[in-house]
Amino acid sequence: MAETRWLDDDEQETWRAYLEGTRLLIQALDRQLETDSGVSFTDYELLVHLSEAPGHRLRMRDLADASFTSRSGVTRAVTRLEDAGWVRRVECDDDRRGMHAELTEAGAAKLAEAAPGHVGAVREHMFDHLSPADRAHIKDAYARMRAHLRPTP
């Protein structure tokens, strides 16, 4: 059993600032989207992923991977978005198990409507507080952490 290397004061402060800042940030973004456009943050992100995909469609599995959630979560989310009219399910013709989630016109419109406010909030609450050096360090550091936590095969 190795000796535990506890966090020193500086590490503690870093950890707390990061955790709490992140929690507040996500809450703020969620509230902004919900009140200004009637979309949750998670739904917004799903729409973004679809809008960036070729043909505005993605396999359910790929959507789950892209959004870092479970497959069942995506199933329910897509049902929700379908009910709202922003997404439709399209069967896959090369894989009869498969399903595409495809962005509808209404979904694209919703995204276009919601995006400016969201980007504004991201700027106001995050990027406006970052120096270029902050940004560079954050980008590289989290990219490293991401690579460590989800190694690409």
Rounded to the nearest whole angstrom, what is the least distance from the CB of residue 14 to DNA in the complex?
23
Pick 27 or 92: Cβ nearer a copy of itself: 27
Q: Does residue 108 bind a copy of itself (CB under 8 A)? A: no
Neighbours of 17 (CB within 10 A): 10
Binding positions for a copy of itself, 36-95, rule CB under 8 A: 68
Dihedral of alpha carbons 128, 28, 45, 47, sign: negative
**Could you give the CA distance from residue 130 to residue 127 in angstroms, rounded to a whole number?**
5
Which of a copy of itself, DNA, none does residue 152 bind to, with CB < 5 to 8 Å depending on kind?
Answer: none
| CB within 8 Å of 99: residues ≥ 6 apart | 59, 60, 89, 90, 91, 92
Binding positions for a copy of itself, 111-140, rule CB under 8 A: 115-116, 119-120, 122-123, 125-127, 129-131, 133-135, 137-140
| CB within 8 Å of 45: residues ≥ 6 apart | 67
* Interface with a copy of itself (CB under 8 A), residue from 4, 35, 72, 152: 4
Record the tokens describing residue 18, joined without a space: 């990061």
Task: Match 């399903």 to its residue by tokens.
Answer: 99
Crossing angle of the two packed helices 105-125 and 9-37, in degrees rounded to 10: 140
Which of a copy of itself, DNA, none does residue 78 bind to, with CB < 5 to 8 Å depending on kind?
Answer: DNA
Record the tokens describing residue 77, joined without a space: 């989310």
Q: Contact positions toward DNA, by CB under 7 A?
A: 40, 42, 59-61, 64, 69-80, 89, 92, 95-100
Q: Which residues lie near a copy of itself (CB under 8 A)?
A: 4-7, 10-11, 13-15, 17-18, 20-25, 27-28, 68, 115-116, 119-120, 122-123, 125-127, 129-131, 133-135, 137-146, 148-150
